[in-house]
Amino acid sequence: MLAKVLSAALVGIDAHLIDVEVDIAGGLPQFSVVGLPDTIVRESRDRVRSALKNTGFHFPAKKITVNLAPAGIKKEGAGLDLAIAIGILVAEDVIPFQNVQNRVCIGELSLDGHIKAITGALSIGIACRPNYSLLLPAQNSLEAAVVQGVTAYPLHTLPEAVGFLNGTVSLEPAHVDRDRFFTTRPVEDDDYGDVKGQDHAKRALEIAAAGGHNLLMVGPPGSGKTMLAKRLPTILPLMEPDEAIETTRVHSVSGQLPANHPLLTIRPFRAPHHSISDAGLIGGGTVPRPGEVSLAHNGVLFLDESPEFRRPVLDGLRQPLEDGHVTLTRASGSLRYPARFMLIAAMNPCPCGYYGDRTRECVCSPQQIRRYRAKLSGPLQDRIDMHIEVPPVSVRDLHDRGPAPESSAMIRSRVLEARDRQRHRYRHDGIHSNAQLKPRLLKRYCGLETPAQELLEQALTKLGLSARAHGRIVRVARTIADLAGSDKIELLHVAEAIQYRSLDRRMEF
């Protein structure tokens, strides 16, 4: 008897519907799975056999062939277990074949018949809408229910799934109120009100947050670079619905989505250690998985002590910084992961950390300083919109009893106003922030007044800046104008944007 059940498989962050065809025929007992399965899928034979027997169902001692179509898609993971088990029961007339029509079954089976969580439930839900209902593990049901137009039924055990398909068990579809995720913001422990001094750095971070710009902080140890960076998420706006869906998909496929957060709305903050590998940062591996740049999609990637990262790892950032995605090419095909993030990098001014410090003497030679700074290549520095120096905080500032520093909430209110201006301006262009402006849109939205244009041309000549750096200065100036509530980019806006290119200035040792 032949049976067919729908399931799904992940390719990158996308899900594809899979036909699980089960044929049971006479002959010597044999259980084979074909259709480009990986090792884990082939091991489903043992899981399915034990799950059926241990839950009281008959496992046929016949020749069982399972075909996973289309054969051109590699099937990975244990999520096909449930569909294979259901297919065997349909072929054995335990479940009427019409009861599985237009239903997608996904889930890993334990040996006692419990249905375990999977990865990528949100992507699978998107693949199912609007024509199919979805039967999946209860742990993933809220995640799939985030997708509008999808009916997701939560399952705990194989007998429960069989009873539901036979009409003897009643299940309520999972329901999620999506609006509440975008109207409430959790209380955050970190706050810029805790940071004494560093007004210049806070201003730069406010501009970076308002426009989605990349930022490099240069300063001695203990100047507060890490403290400033870790508080950046507290002034960033919540993600837009389309951003939240895409970011959640990446985290779900990677298995890093918290169980109680079916939809991420707080922008991610990723801070990998400097010993990370190329595959860990950019993505890849024997079984390709998203790297830190993709996990930081629509959020912040913080590289502390950035020169300590290996040069090939840092240079691997150049493509995602420019294109907003990562393409992984293998013999079996190519995968594309989204990777549009804010890069916040921190570094010391020299190997010892005290070049230019008024209180401690630098012991590094000019050659050592040049070699240290060269670890961040010119093309990578070109792709960083803003460079700022973060000097150590004076004792007077630490003990200042004057007005309290601005809180994150106060800074965030200005950031949100600037973002609202950008959202309205680019509502027909498919982008959300100034940092995403392409050259074509740059000409349309970032025209400079004559004095501002003349100042920028002088700066480009004196600093020897590239065309890419020119575009980034204009984008930052556009953000400064938005924070000021100005529709035009004026002279003062360009002047402030130019000062955030400190590494482009000639250094004397």
> Does residue 240 belong to any structural domain of this protein?
yes
* CA atoms lying within 13 Å on the CB side of residue 456: 26
213 found inside a domain: yes
pLDDT in tens, 347-396: 999 999 889 888 888 999 999 999 998 888 888 888 899 999 999 887 77
Place of tokens 């082939």: 42
Domains contained in the chain, number:
3
C-alpha–C-alpha distance, residues 482 and 358, integer Å: 36
CA pseudo-torsion sign 439, 443, 446, 447: positive
CB 132 within 8 A of CB 15: no
Ranges of H-type helices in 113-212:
121-128, 138-145, 158-166, 178-183, 199-211
- Cα–Cα distance measured from residue 150 to residue 19, given in angstroms and rounded to the nearest whole number: 19
**Strand 2-11 with 108-109, pairing:** unpaired
Based on the fold, state whether residues 200 and 348 are members of the same structural domain: yes
Same domain, 110 and 186: no
216 and 269 share one domain: yes
Same-domain pairing of 132 and 268? no
Alpha helices in 254-308 (DSSP H): 278-282, 292-295
Q: What is the CATH number of the domain that holds 483?
A: 1.10.8
Flag whether 404 is in a domain: no
User: Is the residue at 406 inside a domain?
Assistant: no
Model pLDDT, residue 328: 87
298 Cα distance to chain centroid = 6
For the segment 307-352, what is each residue's pLDDT rounded down to a tens digit? 999 999 999 999 999 899 999 887 667 889 999 999 999 999 999 9
Q: Collapse the DSSP code of 119 into the 3-class scheme (helix H, G, I; strand E, B; otherwise coil) and give the result.
A: coil
Does one domain contain both 76 and 40? yes
Burial class (CB in 10 A: 0-12, 13-18, 19+), 442: middle
**70 preceded by a cis bond (ω within 30 of 0):** yes
Q: What is the model's pLDDT at position 507?
A: 46
Domain final residue pick, 115, 136, 166: 166
Pair of tokens at residue 275 = 């010993």
- Helices and strands of the chain, counted as H and E runs: 22, 18
Please, which pLDDT band fits residue 402 given cuts at 50, 70 and 90? Answer: low
Same-domain status, 219 and 286: yes
The predicted structure's pLDDT at residue 229: 96
H or E stretch covering 41:
helix 39-42
When comparing pLDDT for 60 and 259, which is higher?
60
What is the spatial distance between Cα 338 and Cα 293, in angstroms, rounded to a whole number?
8
Q: Which residue matches tokens 């040069």? A: 311
How far apart (Å, rounded) are the C-alpha atoms in residues 278 and 283?
Answer: 7
- The answer to the question of residue 49 being in a domain is yes
Structural domain contains residue 303 = yes
From 121, 144, 166, give the residue that closes a domain.
166
Mean pLDDT of the region 245-259: 93
- The CATH code of the domain that includes 160 is 3.30.230.10
C-alpha span between 109 and 389 (Å, rounded): 55
Q: Is the pLDDT of residue 226 over 60?
A: yes
Query: What is the CA angle 238-242-244, rounded to 5?
Result: 45
User: Residue 113: is it exposed, middle or buried by C-beta count within 10 angstroms (0-12/13-18/19+)?
Assistant: buried
- Same domain for 386 and 458, yes or no, is no
The pLDDT value recorded for residue 508 is: 44
Task: Examine residue 254 and state whether it is found in any structural domain, yes or no.
Answer: yes
Same domain for 220 and 146? no
DSSP state of 324: S
Domain that holds residue 194: 177-392
- Asked whether residue 479 falls in the same domain as residue 386, the answer is no
**Last residue in a domain, options 392, 421, 437:** 392
Question: How many C-alpha atoms does 260 have within 13 Å on its Cβ side?
Answer: 0
Is the four-CA dihedral 135, 137, 141, 147 of positive or negative sign?
Answer: negative
Residue 351 CB neighbours (<10 A): 17
Q: Could you tell me the end-to-end alpha-carbon distance of the chain, in angstroms, rounded to an integer?
A: 82
CA–CA dist 136, 124 (Å, integer): 10
Beta strand 386-389 pairing with 342-347: unpaired
Number of Cβ atoms within 10 Å of the Cβ of 54: 14
Q: What are phi and psi of 427, to 5 degrees?
A: -65, -20
In the prediction, which pLDDT does 509 show?
42
According to the model, what pLDDT value does residue 399 have? 67
Which pair of structure tokens corresponds to residue 266?
Answer: 């707080």
153 and 183 together in one domain: no
Domain membership of residue 350 (yes or no) is: yes
Burial of 395 (0-12, 13-18, 19+ CB in 10 A): exposed
Q: Is the pLDDT of residue 182 over 50?
A: yes
- Vertex 404 angle, CA 403 and 410, to 5°: 115
Residues constituting the chain? 509
Residue closest to 317 by CA, chosen among 284, 343, 289: 343
Determine the pLDDT at residue 469.
Answer: 81
**Same-domain check for residues 129 and 210:** no
User: Do residues 235 and 356 both lie within one domain?
Assistant: yes
**CATH number, domain at 218?**
3.40.50.300
**Of all residues in the chain, what percent carry a pLDDT higher than 90?**
71
Expressed in percent and rounded to 5, the helix, strand and coil fractions of the chain are 40, 20, 40
